[in-house]
Chains A and B, each alone.
Chain A
């Protein structure tokens, strides 16, 4: 198929929007930690832009989208040198799935997803992970977890794609995947010193609200860019993204107001992000008012899920499990309810649109498999790193804060 200049322009623009989400995430999380750990948090996120970008060009893209079969790609596209060749076609992207953008543009767009996904995990392990351990962890996780899961779900040659499980922009690949890793990693690391007896309130909520704005803005590239075209589907995904973020914010604030008596800025920010997470798998498959229901239901459930962590006693410090794992699961499963082929004929109908429970079943499979694979490999990686270089900073370094102990810097000087 011919290259479409409009589609190419939109996907390249979307790639830049998605890249911008990672510093946005850094500020979203950075505002929530204590002031002695803010640089540590910003650094963990920004570092992902460095290490994952290089790995993606070297081998990551090839492992995710190369022609290795249904479980993982291969190394044939390593270095991305072949992608610009005249007449090159990515494995599986033929017939109805033929791309109207250059394969290089597709690789760039996918790179930005690979960058932000491991960065999502950092919120769960805030304030206590050694930087060296983190660096090794996300490099390994990116290749051993992200690349294969992206292959299964996103690549037309992957087995979950072939099964018919739907994931428009990464409910499973990004959010369930990172959320499962976050849960395991925070369990292996253990709680922050003093948690939950000592209050550890956010040191700069304005950062968090700023980060939310950047995330919301970038998410238009994430979801509407995933249409891989400049067309009606992209517009539908764009609309759904904004609607779910808005409904997510309102849903959270209502639940919060009823339960605690206040509508908080952190609640508005968290609810918007929960709505964005939940609409991610659905963005190009649902229409009408479905996005309102998905955003509101997801954010209400995320709020309730967060209260579980103190009851169960795991220190998911900034609620990656509560927002991304739960939001990703809710979105992926609700897609089995709200998917509508009149919006996207390449999809299937959900429970409410005459498709029965078939799609919902496939969504359950994709969600469970992604969760299980990510959790198991994360556990092995975390244990290996803990035994070799050590996962956690010393108690003294934790007291001093990551900024000075890991990076020899201080965020705020008089």
Chain B
């Protein structure tokens, strides 16, 4: 069985997360620039004296597909890499991957990872 570990983290922590995942033996990941808000809320921008409340913060979403028995290690690596201890560090969650296929070879399951 394979799992998808998805994390939303601070953009400037991406390199640390990547290094931690590589350290943990993860060989691939997908990264997207996203926007959103949680407890951190938004921020204020000022243009020619007018203040705007911007609700969405820029964040990076990382997705890692891994074997079920590797999930704890992946979560630890991401958490370790992304943590600053301040509000807005992000979240990690795990979902089920029903099928995984490597397109080039047709390999399935753990072999496709």
Min Cβ gap A132→B in Å is 30
**B48 — which chain A residues lie within 8 A by C-beta?**
266-267, 270, 303, 306, 319, 322
22 contacts between A and B (CB under 8 A): A199-B45, A199-B52, A201-B45, A201-B47, A201-B52, A202-B47, A256-B49, A260-B49, A260-B51, A261-B46, A264-B46, A264-B47, A266-B47, A266-B48, A267-B48, A303-B48, A303-B49, A306-B49, A307-B49, A307-B50, A310-B50, A322-B48
Q: Does B54 contact A (CB under 8 A)?
A: yes
Q: What CA separation (Å) do A319 and B48 show in the bound complex?
A: 9
- Which residues in chain B, 44-95, are within 8 Å of chain A measured between CB atoms? 45-54
Q: Is A262 an interface residue (CB 8 A)?
A: yes
Residues of B within 8 A of A306 (CB): 48-49
Considering only residues 246-284 of chain A, those with a C-beta below 8 Å from chain B are 256, 259-262, 264, 266-267, 270
Shortest CB–CB separation between residue B33 and chain A, in angstroms?
12
- With a cutoff of 8 Å between Cβ atoms, the chain B residues found around residue A303 in the complex are 48-49
Q: Which of A154-177 contact B (CB under 8 A)?
A: none
Residues of the A chain whose Cβ atoms lie less than 8 Å from the Cβ of B47: 201-202, 264, 266
Q: Which of B50, B51, B53 is the most central at the interface, judged by chain A CB atoms within 10 Å of its CB?
A: B50
What CA separation (Å) do A83 and B65 show in the bound complex? 76
Closest to B55 in A: A199
CB distance from B47 to the nearest CB of A (A): 6
In the bound assembly, the distance between CA atoms of A319 and B50 in angstroms comes to 12
Q: What 7 new A-B contacts, CB under 8 Å, besides A256-B49, A266-B47, A303-B48?
A: A201-B52, A202-B47, A260-B49, A266-B48, A303-B49, A319-B48, A322-B48
Taking a contact as CB atoms closer than 8 A, the residue among A199, A262, A264, A267 that contacts B54 in the complex is: A199
Nearest-Cβ distance from residue A398 to partner chain B, whole angstroms: 20
Q: How far is the CA of A397 from the CA of B109 in the complex (A)?
A: 49
Residues of chain A lying within 8 A (CB to CB) of residue B45: 199, 201
Closest to B46 in A: A260
Give the dominant DSSP class at A's interface: helix
CB-CB contacts below 8 Å: A208-257 with B: 256
Majority secondary structure, B binding face = strand
The CA of A217 and the CA of B8, in the complex, are separated in Å by: 45
B51 / chain A contacts, CB cutoff of 8 Å: 260
* Bound: A261/B46 CA distance, A: 9
Q: Can you name the residue of chain A whose Cβ is closest to the Cβ of B50?
A: A310
Q: Is the CB of B54 within 8 A of A259?
A: no
Query: Which residue of chain B has its CB nearest to the CB of A259?
Result: B49
Most A C-beta atoms less than 10 A away, residue of B46, B51, B53: B46
**Which chain A residues border B52 with CB–CB below 8 Å?**
199, 201
What's the nearest-Cβ distance from chain B to residue A52, in Å?
28
Name the distance in Å between A261's Cβ and chain B's nearest Cβ. Answer: 8
A78 vs B24: C-alpha distance in the bound complex, in angstroms? 79
CB proximity of A274 to chain B, nearest CB, Å: 11
A199 surroundings in chain B (CB, below 8 A) = 45, 52-54
- CB closest chain-B residue, reference A267: B48
Residues on the B chain within 8 Å of A259, using CB: 49
Q: Is the CB of A262 within 8 A of B49?
A: no
Rounded to whole angstroms, the CA-CA distance of A262 and B47 in the bound complex is 10
- Nearest B residue to A262 via CB reads B46
CA A319 – CA B49 in complex, angstroms? 12
Shortest beta-carbon distance from A260 to chain B in Å: 5
Distance A125 CA – B29 CA, assembled complex (angstroms): 46
A382 to chain B, nearest CB (A): 25
Docked pose: A199 CA to B46 CA in angstroms? 11
Chain B residue numbers with a CB within 8 Å of A267 are 48
> Which residues of chain A come closer than 8 Å to B54, judged between CB atoms?
199, 201
Nearest chain B residue, comparing its CB with the CB of A304 = B49
Considering the complex, give the chain B residue whose CB is closest to the CB of A264.
B46
The chain B residue with its CB closest to the CB of A307 is B49
Q: Name the residue in B48, B52, B53 with the highest tally of chain A Cβ atoms < 10 Å from its Cβ.
A: B48
Compute how far the CA of A339 lies from the CA of B57 in the bound complex, rounded to whole angstroms.
52
Q: A333 CA to B48 CA in the complex, in Å?
A: 24
Query: A187-217 vs B: 1/0 string, CB under 8 Å?
Result: 0000000000001011000000000000000
Instruction: Tell me the minimal C-beta distance from B79 to chain A in angstroms.
Output: 32
Question: For residue B51, which residue of chain A has the nearest CB?
Answer: A260
Q: In the bound complex, how far is the Cα of B50 from the Cα of A267, in angstroms?
A: 11
Report the Cα distance A275→B47, complex, angstroms. 18
Residues of A within 8 A of B46 (CB): 260-262, 264
A202 to chain B, nearest CB (A): 6
Q: How far does the Cβ of A194 sit from chain B's closest Cβ, in whole Å? A: 13
